[in-house]
Amino acid sequence: MGIQGDITIGRPVDVVFDYVADQTNEPRYNPQMIRARKLGAAPIGVGTTFRSAVRSGARVADLLIEITDYERPRLLASVTTMAQADIDYVLRFEPVAAGTRMSWSGQVHPKGALRLLGPVIVWLGRRQEQHIWQSLKEHLEHEPASRSETPR
């Protein structure tokens, strides 16, 4: 069951990639993400894991996110494991005249009784992902440019 979409963010591709790759940034733009912590001290790359939690109504779901592919600044893939479902996720980043075109593609694998609600879960996931990435766009486009982004 797939979730996909894309968005253009008015920031350079390396800035968008690095910000998204560091899962600890997500609580800044995703109000459902209540915490995110990187496990281990190694730089972010293949094998990096994050322990996160998201609020869904009155419930909190714990997530384990592992980066499975990392090709800076073009491709970021991960597997998210939680009690309710597993999600295989791929983000692609490409420079465009307006900044960065970021596209996403996710496969949701509901567990247990939730498998019966697969189509509803995918529909909700599509709406949620669009909202999250729109929030990221607004967040990044309203942050001041770093020195490395400022033309000299």
Read off the pLDDT of residues 52-62 as tens digits, 9 standing for 90 and up: 999 977 889 89
- Residue 111: band (very low, low, confident or very high) from pLDDT cuts 50, 70, 90: confident
Q: What is the mean pLDDT of residues 56-71?
A: 93
Read off the pLDDT of residues 129-140 as tens digits, 9 standing for 90 and up: 788 989 999 999
Domain boundaries, the chain: 2-143
In CATH terms, the fold of domain 2-143 is Alpha-D-Glucose-1,6-Bisphosphate; Chain A, domain 4 (3.30.530)
- 150 has pLDDT over 60: no
Q: What is the mean pLDDT of residues 110-116?
A: 65
The model's pTM: 0.85
The token duo for 96 is: 């465009």
